[in-house]
Amino acid sequence: MDLSSKKVIMIIAPEDFRDEEYFHTRESLEKRGVNVEVTSLQKTAVSAIDHTKVEVDKLLNEVNEDYDAIVFIGGAGAKVYFDNEDALSLAKNYYENGKIVAAICIAPLILAHAKLLQDKQATCWDGARDELSTFGAEFTGNDVTVDGKIITANGPKAACEFGENIADALEKA
């Protein structure tokens, strides 16, 4: 299926997002023809590992619901979104409107803070599993977990598979 009409917004932290989670997920989506845009809290974001600078297409508070999926990228910097009203509101609105909501590494905790993981199967970075469970999620421990329109992944090694699962979900949407 041609996915060139599908649009995804990737949310990265302004600093300390995980390089592989961003680049490999994006590459997997773009290989399938998906249009990807990037948002953050500032116009240039800096990665955690090699301090790569990524130009942001729009600021988080400018993002609307014109996308088919929203993808939260992990890394230590993603914690900035745990209590960010714009991020939590976007996650809730996308979910409530039947769109794909995805998160990798520590970022599934953003979905948990948005109260989207109650009674849902999810995975995340192993160091966040206990906190994820306190929000009512059933931790699977898998590399990637799909529960309806919610897709979660456990970290950098799962980034390509994570992107493929998002693209697969977009084909069905």
Q: Domains of the chain: which residue ranges?
A: 7-172
pLDDT recorded at residue 104? 98
pLDDT recorded at residue 97? 97
Please state the three-class secondary structure of 76-90 as a single string: HHHHHHCCCHHHHHH
Mark the ranges of the chain whose per-residue pLDDT is less than 50. Answer: none
Q: What is the pLDDT of residues 62-105, one digit of tens each?
A: 999 999 999 999 999 999 999 999 999 999 999 999 999 999 99
Q: What is the DSSP letter of 45?
A: E
pLDDT recorded at residue 123? 98
Cα 43 from Cα 57, distance rounded (Å):
7
Q: Which CATH architecture has domain 7-172?
A: 3-Layer(aba) Sandwich (3.40)
Dihedral in degrees, nearest 10, Cα atoms 57, 59, 65, 68:
40
Q: What is the pTM of this model?
A: 0.97
pLDDT recorded at residue 38? 98
Strand order in the sheet with 44-47: 15-17, 44-47, 53-55
Cα 149 from Cα 131, distance rounded (Å):
22
